[in-house]
Amino acid sequence: MTDLIDKLHWRYATKKYNPAKKVDAEKLDRILEAVRLAPTSSGLQPFEVFVVENPELRAKIREVAWGQPQVTEASHLLVFAAWDDITEARIDMMFDLTNEQRGTVNEGWEAYRQKLKAIVAARGQQGNYESAARQAYIALGVALVAAAFEGVDSTPMEGFDPAAVDNILSLKERNLRSVVILPLGHREPEGDWLEGLKKVRRPRGQLVTTL
φ, ψ for residue 185 (rounded to 5)? 175, -150
CA gap 12, 137 in Å, rounded: 17
Query: pTM of the full predicted structure?
Result: 0.95
Kindly list the domain boundaries of the chain, sorted by start residue: 2-207
pLDDT at site 101: 96
pLDDT at site 187: 95
Query: Which CATH architecture describes the domain 2-207?
Result: 3-Layer(aba) Sandwich (3.40)
pLDDT at site 2: 75
**H or E element: which one contains 183?**
strand 176-185
In 31-157, DSSP assigns E strands to: 47-52, 76-83, 153-154
Q: What Å distances lie between residue 46 and 18, 36, 39, 176, CA to CA?
A: 33, 11, 11, 9
In 120-159, DSSP assigns E strands to: 153-154
69 and 168 Cβ atoms separated by less than 8 Å: no
Would you give per-residue pLDDT tens digits along the chain (211 residues)? 579 999 999 999 999 999 999 999 999 999 999 999 999 999 999 999 999 999 999 999 999 999 999 999 999 999 999 999 999 999 999 999 999 999 999 999 999 999 999 999 999 999 999 999 999 999 999 999 999 999 999 999 999 999 999 999 999 999 999 999 999 999 998 888 888 888 999 999 999 999 9
pLDDT at site 195: 87
Strand-by-strand arrangement of the 176-185 sheet? 47-52, 76-83, 176-185, 153-154
DSSP 3-state of 174? helix
pLDDT at site 23: 98
**AA identity, residue 207:** L
